[in-house]
Amino acid sequence: MKLHNRVNGEELKKRIQEDPTPRKTISFYTYANIDDPQSFRDQLFIRWDKIGVLGRVYVASEGINAQISVPEPQHDHFLESLNEVDFLRGIRLNYAVDDNGKSFFKLTIKVRDKIVADGLEVDIFKVAEPARYLNVNQFNELTENPDTILIDMRNHYESEVGHFKDAWCPDVDTFREQLPMVVDHLKDKKDQPIIMYCTGGIRCEKASAYLQYEGFQDVYHLEGGIIKYSRDAREKGLPNKFIGKNFVFDERLHERITDDVIASCHQCGEPFDDHINCKNKACNLLFIQCPTCAEKYEGCCSEACLEITRLPEEEQRELRKGKDNGVRIFSKGRFNLHEGSES
């Protein structure tokens, strides 16, 4: 019985790019007690693989976190698969704001210790509840209060290309380092209204519970995150306070929310907000590169990486042996590469 993808990634990508079947990009999460995450994972893979679902899914004893692409003709069958599971029945689904249907090319479902790596020793939901949700109307109203503190609970490379007006965007690489930073930074403001937001809401469930655990009295978080807020604001004709792009963790890399370009090329400093990965596979750095620099550096982040990509493929493979670039993918995004900064 097939429980994993066995087809070459490039071949899968080619198939989806050429497939005219319309697809919907959907994300959802829930914190729930899953007694046997591995068995749950396997059953989910069998069902979703059968109906052509693609995407990246994390399953843990604390719940599920999913970013997926569903063929439109199979959408009802996908909903049926959710309704078969008690804690997924009626779950809120976030449909992509700016979607070309080419967000994922294979189905990957992994069992993890947690669906959000928070670095907390305590199981926060055993000692605290998530803060109150805000819908688009409530969010817009409360952010008009000059005493309100609005916090972007995403990483620097996400907020760099788009964020809410007047939000504090901590300069961090990971969620686990952000939590203690936020608590320390706001330790003298525990009575002020605090709103937290993220891409789809999953990080703020934990973050808002953690702040309440630390004694903050007036905490809120945006229901469904940036994705739901932007869709609801558009559908209801309400002001959208988000500026720029919403960074997403799939092949699209972003959803365009407004036409504002608030970031700049990391190599020349010109206004630009498209992320790419360095063409040197041994580097794979995620960074912002304008078309002029893309031509000059041939899609690489530096002259050094450009020289490596010009080597024969066999020599490049030798240079990559034994190197793990996974943790470096997002590590330099906040630095100006054209100024020679290093991380």
Query: pLDDT tens digits for 259-272?
Result: 999 999 999 999 99
The confidence band for 155, taking pLDDT boundaries of 50, 70 and 90, is very high
What dotted CATH number matches 124-231?
A: 3.40.250.10
Say which residues have a Cβ less than 8 Å from residue 189's Cβ, sequence separation at least 6: 149
Tens of pLDDT, residues 87-98: 999 999 999 999
How far apart (Å, rounded) are the C-alpha atoms in residues 294 and 265? Answer: 10
User: At the topology level of CATH, where does 9-111 sit?
Assistant: Alpha-Beta Plaits (3.30.70)
Q: Is the model more confident about 170 or about 332?
A: 170
| 198 catalytic per annotation | yes
Mean pLDDT for all residues in the chain: 91
What is the per-residue pLDDT across 200-250, written as a single tens digit (0 to 9) for each?
Answer: 999 999 999 999 999 999 999 999 999 999 999 999 999 999 999 999 999
Question: Does residue 51 carry a pLDDT above 50?
Answer: yes
- 54 pLDDT band, cuts 50/70/90, is very high
CB-based contacts of 158: which residues, under 8 Å, 6+ apart? 152, 199, 247
In this predicted structure, the answer to whether residue 326 has a pLDDT above a threshold of 60 is no
CATH 3.40.250.10 domain position(s) in the chain:
124-231
> What residue ranges of the chain are covered by domains with CATH 3.30.70.100?
9-111
Catalytic residue (choose from 198, 265, 283, 290): 198
**pTM for the whole structure:** 0.88
